[in-house]
Amino acid sequence: MEELTALLHSSRRIVAFTGAGISTESGIPDFRSPGGVWTRYDPRDFTFDRYVASADVRERAWRMRREFSDAGYRPNAAHRALARLEEAGRLRGVVTQNIDGLHQLAGSSRVVEIHGTAREVMCIGAAPRAGMPAGCGFTAAHEWAIARVDDGDPDPSCPDCGGLVKSSTVSFGQVLAPDVLEDASLLAESADLMVAVGSSLVVRPAADLPLAAVQNGSRLVIVNDEPTPLDDAADLVLRGRAGEVLGPAVEELLGP
């Protein structure tokens, strides 16, 4: 912890890279562990192509979104710690694999969401192919779709063009937005300290970003419960829960 505080103190261009582990302390289950999302839903049902092809899959997807919407998850100490670092002018931004929007709720203003956001929905067109959304441009808050589902429409369609509507998240088999990847890469390359929190660092291309930061001269801190493939490349590895590590370290740096 002393080493972490010293690294935070000596850095002026901190960039955070976060994964599911930063949000489990808010009660959001991760995907792969026992009790995780994929123990209750079949991940094979949530590929982009199956979503496009099957009204049943879309109906199950909206039920899953409804379940998460009802839970009312809130930011935890780790999200708040990163927001404080940004407010203090030390953290340039957050690159996250998460879709929950908790960084923004905690007060972070520069957040690059590699896998999209569950807070919005979007038109993807009537018959998109090759993992490429081809909608008319319609977007709305997530609550719009949930209200439609609650009103008895299990598979809401676009009110502008009649196309399929999907959560603004990146599904299996869906192409990552090139401009989002570029923003994430530029942010990572600007870092003098990359703090990777709660990520297994195995899902690519997102997991390549901390290594790219190191290759560009940044130091690397990894905070995670389990070993990662990049542990040997890190300047410091801390095993533990994100909030229990980052919260006290930032308080030591910035005060209560």
Query: What is the tens place of the pLDDT at every residue in 97-156?
Result: 999 999 999 999 999 999 999 999 999 999 998 899 999 999 999 999 999 999 999 999
Catalytic residue among 9, 79, 103, 115: 115
Q: Is 195 annotated as a binding residue?
A: no
Is 93 labelled a binding residue? no
What average pLDDT does this structure show over 32-56? 74
- β-bridge partners, 219: 193
> DSSP assignment of the chain, as one string?
-HHHHHHHHT-SSEEEEE-GGGTGGGT---SSSTTSGGGTS-GGGGBHHHHHH-HHHHHHHHHHHHHHHHH-----HHHHHHHHHHHTT-EEEEEES--S-HHHHHT---EEETTEEEEEEEEEESS--TT-----S-EEEHHHHHHHHHTT-SS-B-TTT--EEEEEE--BTPPPPHHHHHHHHHHHHT-SEEEEES--S-STTTTHHHHHHHHTT-EEEEE-SS--TTGGG-SEEE-S-HHHHHHHHHHHHH--
Q: What pLDDT, on the 0 to 100 scale, is given for residue 34?
A: 55
- The pLDDT, as a whole number, for residue 43 is 66
115 has catalytic annotation: yes
pLDDT given for residue 69 in this prediction: 72
85 marked as binding residue: no
Each domain of the chain, given as residue ranges in start order, spans 1-28+74-115+176-256, 30-72+117-169
Locus of tokens 């870092």: 191
The answer to whether 107 is a known ligand-binding residue is: no
Fold of 1-28+74-115+176-256: Rossmann fold (3.40.50)
Give tens-digit pLDDT for 169-192: 999 889 988 899 999 999 999 999
The CATH fold of domain 30-72+117-169: SIR2/SIRT2 'Small Domain' (3.30.1600)
Most confident of 2-16, 32-46, 64-78: 2-16
Q: How far is 222 from 236, CA to CA, in rounded Å?
A: 6
